[in-house]
Structure 1
Amino acid sequence: MQKSHPVFSPLIQGYWRMAEWGMTTQQQHTFLKQHVEMGITTVDHAPVYGPDSACERMFGEVLALDSRMRDQIEIVSKCGIYRGEGKTVNHYNSSKAAIIASVDESLSRINTDHLDVLLLHRPDLLMDADDAAEAFAELSAAGKVKHFGVSNFTPTQFELLQSRLDQPLVTNQVEINPVNLQVTEDGTLDQLQRMRVSPMAWSCLAGGRIFTENSEQMTRLRETLAQVMEEIGASSIDQVIFAWVMRLPAKPVPIIGSGNIERVHAAAGALDLSLTHEQWYRIWVASKGHGVA
């Protein structure tokens, strides 16, 4: 039976740097409550975030402090990346056994009985789509995961997995920013728009490169973003970038990585901004270094 798509908040709070924020559990609870009150209710996790899955563990401690928060949020987590230890190498594993074990471990760390969305974190070159589909079906039947999606998948990888499922993949979490334009060119966003599946956009600020790198490309981008900022009444370049991402017709949902509530609040201001076609392309041209044909 086909399941309906989940409803994500218009922005997603990413917790991949939670272990670096230097907050007490009480401070983390306050931060969570504050962004939920802003309407940012979807949170993004993964077992590989933080040493020894620290970010999921810390978030679980927050929910243990106030279990009422669980009903106010949608939890996204992932599976499939394994860090090498000793003589082993970093690798991917999307087998049924690995997926189910990873979910059980995440549920225990996060202190919840279900995930709202589970993503395969990276394409596994050894993925058996039928095996992964069996894992999804078992987790769904057990009530441990409500919806499934992928992260960093190509269109053909997405279609392969979808062909084995009786419910829709609800997202593809991919990098989208004015520096890395790959998914705007390789068919990823075209496919998602056709299927009416909203991507989640990670690294919208290009890991800070736009602000710190002194290359010709980044200098052009900063100057153009500053011009557009003035034109649309934005309060920061960050807001312009988030607005640029959301202007894409596939309707990406940006993930915010900051643990500073003021920066989260500022990012939310992008929801009230709109770029014209010319302004959007002006930023594209600044990144590319040439105009359209």
Structure 2
Amino acid sequence: MERVNLTPELSFSRIVYGMWRIGDDADTSPKHVQAKIESCLAQGITTMDQADIYGGYTAEAILGAALKAAPGLRDKLEIVTKCDIVAPVGRHSAARVKYYDTTAAHITASVEASLRDMGTDHVDLLLIHRPDPLMDPDETGPALDGLIASGKVSAVGVSNFRPWDFSLLQSSMENELVTNQIEMSLLATDAFTNGDLAFLQERVIAPMAWSPLGGGALFNGSKPDLLAALKRIGNEQGVDETAVAVAWLLRHPATILPVMGTNSLSRIATFADAVKVEMDRQTWFELYTLAIGREVA
């Protein structure tokens, strides 16, 4: 599996395992979670994507139980987590409304809770989960720098930020923001033309893509011609249609890291099929044309 350097000291596997649904599985036992991780590792997938809010603030503890049961596992992984969404569930059930909090106190408390729940002394990458309209960059930036200085966080980035949000936060930081995790798939193509990817490419920052299969909507028949093309290409290359859809993202020169989320062991075992797919420029545009529903201008 190809690896991507986010910093000179930190590299991620090109495909990332997303754990946002891990708490929805009928089996959240340490043994079952470990089986998912081991399946990823067998393919060279070492990067696990978490967030404090996943599973109503339970997903990190589910991962932590698996890591506690298999102490040697943590050293084989890079762990990503996120903070700043406060929803009135779980540990934040007293909140009156869902909101964002990028204050230094909240970020620090969130990281401490994540470390405790996952049973680790550091996270490899911390992301601010959503742009906060009330963010004070002169408070948020130094708080993130401080977490890196403390060793509790190896690197920081953002998620769902537009270029101007990214630049605002970066302007108050000593450390570089190393990624932006944004929605990208054949059903979410805006980033390819609205400047989000171009902004990152200009700065040689590798983006992460959440929901790279459109939350499964790619395969519900809403775009039958696109689905037929994905299946045709997959049949020609000995993979299924999901591998082709992910390969479409991998083909882009921005070095996109797709974050793949599923609880199915059989599907996890095929994640790396995407890197086997050969996709020339015309095939990429064929899928793009079918995705946007028109010929490019």
Interval containing the TM-score (normalised by the shorter chain) = over 0.9
1:263 matched to which residue of 2? 267
Give the 3-state SS of the residue equivalent to 1:226 in structure 2.
Answer: helix
Match of 2:54 among 33, 49, 55: 49
**Separation in structure 1 between the aligned mates of residue 199 and residue 173 of structure 2, nearest angstrom:** 17
Aligned with residue 74 of structure 2, among 70, 76, 81? 70
Contact 1:285 1:291 in 2 (8 A): yes
- Structure 2 counterpart of 1:46, which letter? A
How far does residue 5 in structure 1 lie from its aligned partner after superposition? 6.0
Query: Is the CA contact (8 Å cut-off) linking 1:80 and 1:98 kept in structure 2?
Result: yes
Q: Matched residue of 2:133: which SS?
A: coil
Shift of 1:86: 5.7
1:58 equivalenced with 2:66 (yes/no): no
Counterpart in the other structure of 2:34: 29
User: Structure 2: how far apart are the matches of 1:155 and 1:134?
Assistant: 20
C-alpha change, 1:66 and 1:283, in structure 2 (3 Å) is same
Deviation at 1:130, TM superposition (A): 1.3
Residue 25 of structure 2 is aligned to residue 17 of structure 1: no
Counterparts of 1:195 and 1:97, CA distance in 2: 30
The aligned counterpart of 1:106 is 114
Moved >4 Å (runs of 4+): none
1:202 to 210, 225, 233: 210
State the distance in 1 between where 2:94 and 2:82 align.
24
Q: Distance in 1 between matches of 2:24 and 2:60?
A: 13
Amino acid at match of 1:13: Y
Q: Which moved more, 1:172-181 or 1:219-228?
A: 219-228
If the length of structure 2 is used for normalisation, what is the TM-score? 0.92
Matches within 5 A, 1:110-129: 110-129=118-137
1:185: Cα distance to partner? 1.5
2:3 aligned partner? none
Match of 1:182 in 2: 190
Q: Is the 8 A contact 1:5 1:170 kept in 2?
A: no
Q: Any stretches of 5+ residues in structure 1 without a counterpart?
A: none
- Paired with 1:20 and 1:172, the residues of 2 have a C-alpha distance of 26
**How many angstroms apart in 2 are the aligned matches of 1:219 and 1:292?**
19
TM superposition shift of 1:87: 6.6
Deviations 1:178-224 (A, max 9, x none): 11111112111101111111111110110111111x43xx1121122
Give the Cα separation in 2 of the matches to 1:211 and 1:281: 19
Displacement after TM superposition at 1:74 (Å):
0.3
Consecutive unaligned residues of structure 2, counting only runs of 5 or more, are: 1-6
Query: For the residues of structure 1 that align with 2:218 and 2:153, how far apart are their CA atoms?
Result: 37
Provide the residue aligned with 2:45 in structure 1.
40
Deviations 1:23-70 (A, max 9, x none): 22112122212211221100000111103x111011111111112111
Match of 1:165 in 2: 173
Structure-2 residue corresponding to 1:149: 157
Asked if the contact 2:39/2:268 (under 8 Å) is kept, the reply is no
Describe the SS at the equivalent of 1:94. coil
Equivalent AA in structure 1 for residue 53 of structure 2: V
Q: Is the Cα–Cα contact under 8 Å of residues 23 and 58 in structure 2 kept in the other structure? A: yes
Cα pair distance change 1:160/1:234, threshold 3 Å: farther
Cα deviation code 1:214-240 (max 9, x no counterpart): 43xx11211222232234x04211000
RMSD across aligned positions (CA): 1.4
Instruction: Find 1:226's aligned residue among 222, 227, 231.
Output: 231
Change (3 A) 1:87 1:202: closer
Distance 1:153 1:87 in 2: 24
Task: Choose from 266, 287, 290 the match for 2:291.
Answer: 287
Task: Map 1:89-104 to 2 at 5 A.
Answer: 89-104=97-112
8 Å contact 1:14–1:43 — kept in the other structure? yes
For residue 125 of structure 1, give the secondary structure of its aligned residue in structure 2.
Answer: coil
Mark the CA change 1:15 to 1:162 in structure 2 (over 3 Å): closer, same or farther. same
Aligned match of 1:251: 255
Q: TM-score, normalised by structure 1?
A: 0.94
Corresponding residue pairs, total:
286
Q: Is the 8 A contact 2:36 2:268 kept in 1?
A: no
- Give the superposition deviation at 1:21: 1.8
CA 166–279 in structure 1, closer or farther in 2 if over 3 Å, else same: same
